Amino acid sequence: MATLSFRTAVPALVFSFVLCGLAMACPCSTVTVPATDPGYNNIDGIKFSHTSQYRNEFRDAIAQAKRYCQTHVNIAHRAVVSDLDETLFDNREFDKANPIFEHGKWAEWVSKEKSPAFRSTREFLAWARGRGFAIFLVTTRGESMRGSTIANLLREGISYDGLFMRPDGNHDTHEALKTRFRKQIEEMGFTIVVNLGDQYSDLAGGYAQDCEKVPNRMYFNR
């Protein structure tokens, strides 16, 4: 990831917001994790998730991801990386019932294997896979959740080529862990054309050509 000074990083971050807001290509090099927690919370974030602005931002991010892929269908070993929670899996039922995150309750929710998929993300991933893009799912869910996660993906009809999960005992930041997974994917010989996520920590760190962020004001992960 390019190192930016504060004076250059702030305009670059604003620039990336503007680009994403206009549903244009979002160069991954302009995406950084905000230094300050935006103060997102479940109550306000869930309200926002039922607004037209949320739906429009979500739709625009997916549409831009598809447009970018459409112009990169000739790349050998092309791939799309997608985050799971709040990008592919819709966990608003859990978030609404649990304003304060508790790992035990989250594990219980995951074990139910009933997170619905966002239709637009599911359709985009299916479209991309049908055009020769490998689909790699990258999540900070722990390895202990692999079985339930696969079952939930199967229930929602998601086809994919790899599922990267946080190893037992790993405490890396979201950004560090996900960056390492994307590096591994590229070291396998794939070119990550689009990286899709709901957190800046899903996208910062490089190893992708285009980064698209769907909205989430319920929580903020580094």
Residues in contact with 180: Cβ distance below 8 Å, sequence separation at least 6, in sequence order: 172
Q: How far is the CB of 75 from Mg ion (least distance, A)?
A: 26
Tokens of 19: 């680009």
By CB under 5 A, tell whether 90 contacts Mg ion. Answer: no
By CB under 5 A, tell whether 95 contacts Mg ion. Answer: no
- d(Cα 198, Cα 168) in Å, to the nearest integer? 23
Using CB under 5 A, count the residues that bind Mg ion.
5
Among 40, 42, 55, CA closest to 96:
42
Tokens of 78: 């092309």
CB nearer to Mg ion: pick between 102 and 187: 102
CB nearer to Mg ion: pick between 9 and 160: 160
Q: Which 64-83 positions form the footprint of Mg ion (CB under 5 A)?
A: 83
Tokens of 28: 């991954």
Task: Choose, by CB under 5 A, the member of 57, 85, 156, 175 that binds Mg ion.
Answer: 85
By CB under 5 A, tell whether 175 contacts Mg ion. Answer: no
- d(Cα 140, Cα 175) in Å, to the nearest integer? 10
Q: How far is the CB of 6 from Mg ion (least distance, A)?
A: 27
Site string for Mg ion, 179-208 (x = CB under 5 A): -------------------x----------
- d(Cα 142, Cα 18) in Å, to the nearest integer? 33
Task: Choose, by CB under 5 A, the member of 45, 58, 61, 86 that binds Mg ion.
Answer: 86
Q: How far is the CB of 147 from Mg ion (least distance, A)?
A: 20
Q: Which 128-147 positions form the footprint of Mg ion (CB under 5 A)?
A: none
Please identify, among the stretches 40-48, 55-63, 86-94, 140-148, the one whose residues bind Mg ion according to the rule CB under 5 A: 86-94
Write b or e for each residue in 34-56: b if 16 or more Cβ atoms lie within 10 A of its Cβ, otherwise e: eeeeeeeebeebbebbeeeebee
First to last CA, the chain: 15
Interface with Mg ion (CB under 5 A): 83, 85-87, 198
